[in-house]
Structure 1
Amino acid sequence: MWSAPGWTVNLGDPPETSVTVRLVSPREYGVCSPRLSGCAVPVGHVCLVMLDRAAFLNGTPRQRTLLLAHEVGHCLDASRLEYTHGDFRDEGRVYSAYHASPVEGFAEAYAHAYLARCGPNAAPLGWGQGPPCVLPDPHGVRPDRLLR
């Protein structure tokens, strides 16, 4: 896995959150279910994100951005919000039943906030070329401000 294609990006103001992204087969996730399209393993201000290589590379720009931003949302939930999940309870259910848990609801809401602000431009998250874009502040991703 460590030799899998990927990149590292530092996000936010100091202390930055360092996110290393690897494109792997889901069988290589280890700590996450291989049924998922992505997996985030945050430890303090460092986070490993593993994405299903085929799902990511074959997705549309919007799908790729949502997937990557969702996993980055998990990283920021840990490093910036200290796992408070932006006070989400089950509000993420507006996205799907899977997103009804606070942790998944926050991550999906973060992905939609990112898409609303930056569009399908994943360059600020380290993927591809595109204009700069200031990432949404995870403190501003709240249940009363859901975007779809």
Structure 2
Amino acid sequence: MRRALVALLTLLTACAPAVFSAPGWQAVVLDTRVTVRLVDAREFGYCSVTLVGCTVPVGRDCLVLLDRRYFLNGTPRQQTLLLAHEIGHCLDGSRLAYSHGGFHDAGRVYGAYYASPVEGFAEGYARAYLAACGTNLAPLGWTRAGEAAAGCVIPDPRQVRPPSAS
């Protein structure tokens, strides 16, 4: 699995050489190794430059690219939803084997973009994280200046359920 990640990261580096030198951090989230890099969206490589986050999950390793400007200038809620959403993609791969937690098109209640199972689950995970941890990103490796690194119980992706369309 490590070889697959190294090969994938090498490919990404060829497409976006600034990724490895970009500021960021590493965290272990529910036994998944996550590397987060803050880059310009134009450096995402294979993801659309119109997005503010891009995730490359490979087994228990995962690369998360966040649009630097959006993330650093976002409100704590925006930062939390973005980072937890992208890590939701990581956990979908590492913990759910891309089953998307039973989401089909239920994510559409969040907006049209989230109608696909993969995006619906990631958004559902982000909202479950926000409900469990508030805007505390320390469990995901990010601590805001002046903020204590208090922990919380990170939601188990197997417990995230599709929302009901009410």
TM-score (norm 1): 0.94
Cα deviation code 1:76-117 (max 9, x no counterpart)? 000000000001000000100000000000000000000000
Decide whether the 8 Å contact of 2:107 with 2:163 is kept in 1.
Answer: no
Higher-Rg structure is 2
Match of 1:6 among 24, 30, 35: 24
**For the residues of structure 1 that align with 2:46 and 2:26, how far apart are their CA atoms?**
20
- Name 1:131's counterpart in structure 2: 150
Cα deviation code 1:25-62 (max 9, x no counterpart)? 01110021111000000000000000000000000001
Q: How many residues align?
A: 143
Q: Secondary structure at the match of 1:80?
A: helix
Gaps of 5+ in 1: none
In the alignment, is residue 96 of structure 1 matched against residue 111 of structure 2? Answer: yes
Q: CA RMSD in A?
A: 1.2
Q: Could you list the structure 1 runs, at least 4 aligned residues long, displaced by more than 3 angstroms after superposition.
A: none
Identity %: 66
Gaps of 5+ in 2: 1-18
